[in-house]
């Protein structure tokens, strides 16, 4: 059997049998074999698909085809520019020029957890290890048909939008950069097509999980040269929110040059900070979300990972921004209520904890364990006035 091995910066290394179109994707780290299987798709969980080992590389060992159901977090047009752009290999002049690219994210429904990327590109034939006769690239007309195929329900013709509940059926997938994603395994062979079908239109976006940078980024560089918080159990750190809709509060921009709708993904990066020594990359969408904020803001979007490595998936977390809003002030409002006081603060500050102390001289701050009631966007705790004085504060926690 003849084989070819190559590594593409952006997708996993792929080993292909030269004699037929059955593919085995060999992941350099983890040695996970993905075999193309015939027959009806079996149900799979995103939690299984995104499981990783200590190096952050996929440990999934399932079979194809499989199907996952979840909510579209992105419109097909907001992440990558899918405009048809056929570019031939031309003796290497077209190397790595993929032309149109298409990508969406799907977030699982509880009790499953996580999100998964669906991706494809027009000119796989411009990857150095692929055939350069045009057989692994789509013509502009064929690519247009592919875009329509994955952007619309095959039965009704309905055009997908974020917030739709869909089922994705996969015949191929690769692991790269710390994320396992559904794709065509760099092939135009229809045997590797993924399909998307509508379950419920306008199902509704999941509420974003509110986090702070302290949940995913440290303040000291580790031995690897980065300070991303990585937990292979996916219970904490960046892995816990990978592929999901989140809201990161209390950010300010460090750089603004990537705050642009330019079609090139790499030109849409900018850097944000929490003002406490942590910095984090943000990706601007292809649509206008307003001018770069000059004050503290909250950013809502999809939590991604792109480590740029086929063997190290322990870092590279970033946020694809879909919406920004001014940060709520982390202050407690106090109002007398009979023989008690009502303490209230914005409910959006889900990662802030109400604490109390008896004195401001060497105070001993302790968490207020009373569960707040949420009304009209405010979290409220009623505190009985049983002591001469009491002091309260909000503290940002992980």
Q: Give helix then strand counts, H and E, for the chain.
A: 3, 25
- Coil, strand or helix: which one is 217? strand
Same structural domain, 170 and 223: no
Contacts of 110 (CB under 8 A, 6+ apart): none
Which among 307, 326, 345 is the end of a domain? 326
Contact 133, 178 (CB under 8 A): no
pLDDT surpassing 80 at residue 34: no
pLDDT surpassing 60 at residue 26: no
| Cα 282 from Cα 270, distance rounded (Å) | 5
| Cα 207 from Cα 338, distance rounded (Å) | 35
Task: Give pLDDT tens digits for 217-255.
Answer: 988 776 777 899 999 999 999 999 999 999 999 899 999
| Cα 179 from Cα 12, distance rounded (Å) | 10
Contact 71, 205 (CB under 8 A): yes
Task: Give pLDDT tens digits for 352-386.
Answer: 789 889 888 878 889 898 889 988 778 899 988 88
Which among 200, 223, 249 is the end of a domain? 200
Same structural domain, 122 and 91: yes
Burial (CB count <10 Å: 0-12, 13-18, 19+), residue 307: buried
Residue 124 vs residue 387, higher pLDDT: 124
| Cα 182 from Cα 192, distance rounded (Å) | 10
Which pLDDT value is given to residue 143? 98
- Coil, strand or helix: which one is 332? coil
pLDDT surpassing 70 at residue 9: no
Positive or negative torsion for Cα 365, 345, 297, 105: positive
Neighbours of 52 (CB within 10 A): 24
Same structural domain, 137 and 230: no
Note down the domain range covering 235. 209-326
Task: Give pLDDT tens digits for 86-114.
Answer: 999 999 999 999 999 999 999 999 999 99
Task: Give pLDDT tens digits for 301-346.
Answer: 999 999 989 899 999 999 999 999 988 766 788 888 888 899 988 8
Same structural domain, 185 and 148: yes
Which pLDDT value is given to residue 21? 28
Which among 145, 175, 200 is the end of a domain? 200
Which pLDDT value is given to residue 36? 37
Q: Average of pLDDT values for 114-125?
A: 98
Q: Average of pLDDT values for 160-166?
A: 98
Same structural domain, 178 and 218: no
Which pLDDT value is given to residue 32? 30
């Amino acid at each position: 059997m003849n084989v070819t091995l190559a590594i593409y910066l952006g997708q996993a290394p792929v080993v292909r049998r030269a004699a037929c179109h059955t593919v085995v994707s060999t992941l350099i780290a983890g040695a996970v074999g993905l075999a193309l299987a015939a027959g009806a798709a079996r149900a799979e969980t995103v939690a299984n698909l995104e499981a990783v080992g200590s190096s952050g590389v996929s440990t999934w060992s399932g079979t194809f085809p499989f199907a996952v159901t979840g909510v579209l977090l992105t419109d097909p047009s907001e992440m990558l520019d899918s405009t048809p752009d056929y570019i031939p290999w031309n003796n290497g002049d077209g190397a790595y020029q993929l032309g149109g690219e298409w990508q969406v994210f799907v977030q699982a429904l509880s009790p499953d957890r996580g999100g998964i990327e669906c991706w494809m590109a027009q000119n796989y034939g411009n990857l150095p290890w692929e055939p350069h006769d045009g057989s692994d690239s789509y013509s502009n007309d064929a690519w247009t048909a592919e875009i329509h195929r994955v952007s619309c329900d095959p039965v009704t013709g309905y055009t997908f939008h974020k917030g739709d509940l869909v089922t994705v059926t996969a015949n191929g997938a690769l692991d790269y950069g710390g994320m396992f994603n559904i794709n065509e395994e760099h092939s135009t062979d229809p045997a590797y097509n993924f399909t998307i079908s509508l379950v419920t239109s306008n199902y509704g976006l999941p509420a974003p999980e509110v986090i702070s940078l302290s949940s995913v980024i440290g303040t000291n560089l580790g031995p690897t040269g980065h300070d991303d918080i990585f937990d292979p159990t996916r219970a904490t750190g960046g892995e816990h929110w990978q592929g999901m809709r989140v809201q990161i509060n209390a950010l300010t921009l460090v750089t603004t040059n990537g705050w642009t709708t330019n079609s090139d993904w790499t030109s849409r990066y900018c850097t944000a900070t929490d003002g406490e020594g942590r910095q984090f990359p943000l990706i601007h969408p292809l649509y206008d979300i307003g001018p770069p904020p000059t004050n503290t803001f909250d950013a809502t979007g999809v939590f991604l990972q792109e480590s740029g490595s086929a063997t190290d998936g322990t870092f590279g977390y970033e946020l694809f921004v879909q919406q920004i809003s001014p940060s709520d002030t982390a202050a407690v409002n106090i109002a007398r209520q009979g023989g008690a006081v009502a303490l209230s603060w914005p409910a959006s500050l889900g990662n802030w904890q109400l604490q109390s102390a008896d004195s401001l001289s060497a105070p001993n701050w302790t968490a207020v364990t009373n569960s707040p009631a949420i009304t009209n966007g405010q979290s409220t705790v009623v505190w009985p006035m049983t002591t001469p004085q009491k002091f309260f504060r909000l503290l940002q926690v992980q």
